[in-house]
Amino acid sequence: MEQTTTKTTWTLPQTRVKKIMKLDEDSLLVREETVAVVTKATELFIDYLVKESIQDNKDKLSYKALSETVHSIPALHFLRELVPEKVNGEYLLFRDASNEQVANSHEEQIE
């Protein structure tokens, strides 16, 4: 990731970030300084993700662009399950039908 000194034009609410941090059962006490740092890091991460995703299309962010970014940058691969590649609905129907046929034929072999 390249360093950026630009200031974001938006901010995340620190109270909401603190609530999310407290959802972790292992966290006993969350200090305000920690919340501020995590909030800023999250803002910078979101900025990076958006900037990488809209390089070709400067005026809007699409799911497809976001997904392609997540799947093409190794540092973002941890998000692949959360942001799967966009697939055609017909493909999903065909895939599900094929899986059902395979499962049925497997059951017939067992009997």
DSSP code string of 64-101: HHHHHHHHH-GGGGGGTTTSPPP--HHHHHHHHHHHHH
The single residue listed with the structure tokens 């190794």 is: 74
Three-class DSSP category at 67: helix
Mean pLDDT of 105-109: 52
Q: What is the pTM of this model?
A: 0.66
pLDDT-derived band of residue 7, with 50, 70 and 90 as boundaries?
low
Q: Which residue has the tokens 């909401």?
A: 16
Q: What is the pLDDT of residues 19-76, one digit of tens each?
A: 999 898 887 788 999 999 999 999 999 999 999 999 877 778 899 999 999 999 999 9
Q: What is the pLDDT of residue 66?
A: 92
CATH C-level class of 14-86: mainly alpha
Question: What phi, psi does 65 have (nearest 5°)?
Answer: -65, -40
